[in-house]
Structure formats: C-alpha cells, structure tokens
Amino acid sequence: MIPNYGYQLSQERRTRTRAELLVGDERLGRQAAAVSRASRAVARTARASVCIALKAIATVEARATTRSA
C-alpha cells in the first residue's frame, strides 16, 4: 500500500495552473531531448560497429580471392 494514496489521488484530480502546466511541459521537453540524444548516440555506435564489421568482411573476402587466384 502506498502511503498518502488518497492525497496523491486528490492531487492528480485537481486542475493545474498555467505555471504548473508550463513546468510539466518543460520537464517533458527535457526528457524527450535526453531520449533523443541517447538514441542518436546508440545509433552512431551501431553504425560504427557495422562499418567496422563490413570492412573486416571485405578484407577477409579480398584475402580469400587473392589466395585462390
């Protein structure tokens, strides 16, 4: 059981002032920016890993082709 559950429910149901809405929007905006930065970093790392793997495969394939010729 969550302490002060009744208070939390009443706070959720009450109307918010414009200032509270703006603060909430700002917080959500910061969270969205952080998620975006993190996803770009992950994509950049994945892209670099794929490039390294493709170069390694091309090198192995080139060596195999040279030996068999």
The H-or-E segment that residue 30 falls in is: helix 18-68
- Confidence (pTM): 0.55
Alpha-carbon dihedral sign for residues 48, 49, 50, 51: positive
**pLDDT of 63 strictly over 90:** no
Q: Tell me: the pLDDT tens digits for 3-56?
A: 788 888 888 888 889 999 999 999 999 999 999 999 999 999 999 999 999 999
Question: Who wins on pLDDT, 69 or 43?
Answer: 43
pLDDT at residue 64, as a whole number: 84
pLDDT score recorded for residue 69: 57
Residue 1 has pLDDT above 70, yes or no: no
Q: What six digits make up the tokens of 36?
A: 């975006």
